[in-house]
Amino acid sequence: MARAKLQAADTISYRSSRTSLWHYMWKYKVLYLLTIPGIVYYLVFKYIPLGASFIAFKDYNIFKGVFGSPWVGLKHFERMFQHADFLRILKNTFILGGLDILLAFPAPIIIALMLNELRLIALKRIVQTVIYMPHFLSWVIIGGIAVGILSPSTGVVNQFIKWLGFEPIYFLAENSMIRSVFVTSGIWKEVGWGTIIYLAALAGVNPDLYEAAEIDGANRWQQTLAVTIPTILPTITILFLLKIGEFLDYGFERVWVFLNPLTYENGEILDTYIYRAGLLQQEYSYTTAVGLFKSLVGLTMLFVANKLSKKATGESLF
């Protein structure tokens, strides 16, 4: 009897929770409808392609099809590590990812902290708008702007270098300079987007904390270290973990618009290599193996960073 009552109570509770869930979804149906394009994008371009990842273990032939192509085991993974250029390309990707975290990740934090100290609201909004606008430009446009600015004959940068009495630098044709072009252009394009996120986090800092710190004799710099940064640390941690997750996903367009045969040695990354070998040379199984390796490394790095973050700061993605 008691068991029947418990089962009936569980059934009622389950039905009630389902009713409340549907009621909640119907109440905010417009917001759910707005998420449909994003959900469709991730399903079509991220999740559905995962179903064909097994061709990394096959010798895929477009005439035989996915299921008709023969299994070859780890052949493509062995070829990947034996390839003369793969380790160099992997090293390039790691270096650029490291430079992005070292230089590009702190940039919006620093700018947001500086803007937060501005008392002229109009100036603050103008600066925000100016640094945010490049985010809406495609990498093709960014590449065209960079070519114009860095041109050895007419570019503003080289005109200044020649004015100082030095020889012009071929930034886009020098292996030693190409990485700095990637990183600098990336910072210029995306720093405004990150700044807005951190400014939103700074808006949530309790003003009473600043007043208490000021009463204790803390100056603005000490207030930043003792109040501001610890308060926005959860936001910094989450964005840092997301950045770690895409460590090897540096961005095809970001590199391809600047890349040329003169800069392959230091400029080619896994994404551009996959494009050249996979689409141009039609080595689908091999490049699927490279992409699978890249994803597994990124996932491993994310799990490790998440675990370390949880132990060190108490903040984590999961």
Give the tens place of pLDDT for each residue, 155-176: 899 999 999 999 998 999 889 8
* Residue pair 149/156 in contact by the 8 Å Cβ criterion: yes
* Residue pair 83/166 in contact by the 8 Å Cβ criterion: no
Give yes or no: residues 115 and 6 share one domain.
no
Give yes or no: residues 16 and 89 share one domain.
no
Backbone angles phi, psi at 61, to 5 degrees: -130, 125
pLDDT at residue 212 is higher than 60: yes
| 78 is a domain residue | no
* Residue pair 271/121 in contact by the 8 Å Cβ criterion: no
Burial 285-317 (b: 16+ CB within 10 A, else e): bbbbbbbbbbeebbeebbeebbeebeeeeebbe
| 188 is a domain residue | yes
pLDDT at residue 316 is higher than 90: no
| 66 is a domain residue | no
pLDDT digits (tens, 9 = 90+) for 53-111: 899 999 998 888 888 889 999 999 999 988 888 999 999 999 999 999 999 999 999 99
Give yes or no: residues 134 and 6 share one domain.
no
What average pLDDT does the chain have?
Answer: 88
Query: Across the strands, what pairs with 71?
Result: 58
> How many Cβ atoms sit within 10 Å of the Cβ of residue 112?
22
Query: Across the strands, what pairs with 65?
Result: 61
How far is residue 309 from each of residues 100, 240, 242, 244, 296, measured CA to CA in Å? Answer: 19, 10, 12, 12, 20
* Residue pair 238/306 in contact by the 8 Å Cβ criterion: no
Q: How many domains does the chain have?
A: 2
Reported in sequence order, the residue ranges of 82-215 that DSSP labels E, i.e. its strands, are none
Give yes or no: residues 32 and 95 share one domain.
no
In three-state secondary structure terms, 58 is strand
| 268 is a domain residue | yes
What whole-number distance in Å separates Cα of residue 137 and Cα of residue 113?
Answer: 25
Give yes or no: residues 39 and 169 share one domain.
no
Amino acid 13: pLDDT: 53
> Which CATH number covers residue 243?
1.10.3720.10
Query: CB burial class (10 A; 0-12, 13-18, 19+) of residue 90?
Result: buried
Report which residue type is found at 202.
L
Query: CB burial class (10 A; 0-12, 13-18, 19+) of residue 77?
Result: middle
Contacts of 170 (CB under 8 A, 6+ apart): 152, 177
Range of the domain at 38: 1-50
Average pLDDT over residues 198-224: 89
| 277 is a domain residue | yes
| 239 is a domain residue | yes
Amino acid 39: pLDDT: 93
pLDDT digits (tens, 9 = 90+) for 266-307: 999 999 999 999 888 889 999 999 999 998 998 899 899 888
In three-state secondary structure terms, 281 is coil
Please report, rounded to a whole number, the percentage of residues in the chain having pLDDT higher than 70: 94
Amino acid 6: pLDDT: 46
| 67 is a domain residue | no
Give yes or no: residues 121 and 232 share one domain.
yes
pLDDT at residue 138 is higher than 60: yes
Give yes or no: residues 171 and 278 share one domain.
yes
Give yes or no: residues 111 and 28 share one domain.
no
Give yes or no: residues 271 and 151 share one domain.
yes
Give yes or no: residues 146 and 36 share one domain.
no
Give yes or no: residues 119 and 26 share one domain.
no
Give yes or no: residues 163 and 259 share one domain.
yes
